[in-house]
Amino acid sequence: MSSSIQSRQAENPGHVANVRTLILFLGFVTLVGLLVWPSLAGRIQYAKTRAELSAIRDAAAGAELRAVGKLFTTLARVIGPAVVNVTSKKRVHTLADEIAALRGESPAGATNESVGSGVIVESDGVIVTNYHVVSQSDEIDVTLADGRRYKASLVGADAATDLAVLRVDAKDLPKADWADSDTAEVGEMVWAIGNPFGLDRTITYGIVSAVGRRGVVDNPFQEFLQTDASINPGNSGGPLVDVDGHVMGITTAIVGKGFRGIGFAIPSNTARRVCDEIRMTGHVERGYLGMALRELPPGLAAGPGAAVAAVEPKSPAAEAGVKPGDVVLSFDGEEITEPAELVLLLTRAPVGAEVPLEVIRDGEQMTITVRVGRRPHDK
């Protein structure tokens, strides 16, 4: 058998050569395929990916991204005309003035200026700004977005919340609407607009970083919205607005002397209430019970609440029967988690209102009805 095969192979040398050539060709093709195919496949995949990205970019450029960009520009147009620049001037009595007076000459009339921002909240010229922008001023100038300038009168101010209300003699002004700051959520978009470093109507963008922020300043009557929108000196008194262009807060404070990504705004509900009260009465009244409060010791079984450390004689709390050692759990149905929370609720309670105060005394829970008094001006 083997001799027969060998004889046939010997008889067909051309056939053997053809088989070898075919084998070599197939090997060469395979080698070329192994070398070329990855590059070719990569090019095909790249072309496919590029086409997909181009389609996505074209769709986004014509829809979502353009809509986001227009939101920013629309907000600037909506809120910008209602934002004003506020310059307060205070006359300074100097040694040169005294020398001039001795010589019978007119004093030089030096002044200190404080520059800030404000927002028109009523079309008849009512403007909200910060108290610290206009405090102790002898003259207040307001510049509108269209360049008109007015002398402003101070309707009233509230140092405790750092708010002031101004009025200019003008009609049909563009005004901003108030938002409901109680609905503000951490992470939602906000814009700040004002006069930082004298740069007229600068708008910056950020988010609400925190709500109900207390302890920022040494004032129990203040709580803030925190934002990372750029706020700098000169922004004080300007609005912090939401996606609808409504005023979510009044910018008032920063950490440090320049922008560090941490700024604070007075919530709109506080600013609106203070503004309305100042317009009606010229000042702000705050509720008062006459209790000294302290935090509960850690791990106390009663849980959240505020401990009554002392009660002033003949105060509303004393007349209602509140005693030292009581633990206040709620005020008018609102749970109390710390003393500062009760203080803030008191500031918002109408003077004369009868309010249920839920307390724990000697392990027994009870409800005491208190009549909210008027806080003395020295407290």
Going across the sheet that includes 149-151, the strands are 149-151, 139-143, 83-91, 111-122, 126-129, 163-167, 153-158
Question: What dihedral do alpha carbons 86, 268, 274, 177 form, nearest 10°?
Answer: 70
Q: Which of 88, 114, 117, 132 is catalytic?
A: 132
Q: HEC string of 192-219?
A: EEECHHHCCCEEEEEEEEEEEECCCCCC
DSSP codes of every residue in 281-333: HSS---EE--EEEEEPPTT-TT-S-EEEEEE-TTSHHHHHT--TT-EEEEETT
Q: Which of 88, 137, 236, 330 is catalytic?
A: 236
DSSP state of 245: S
Tell whether the torsion through CA atoms of 19, 21, 24 and 27 is positive or negative: negative
Instruction: Pinpoint the alpha helices (H) of 13-126.
Output: 13-61, 64-79, 95-102
DSSP state of 152: P
Residue 132 among the catalytic residues:
yes
Residue 330 among the catalytic residues:
no
Q: Which of 162, 228, 242, 326 is catalytic?
A: 162
Active centre residues (catalytic): 132, 162, 236
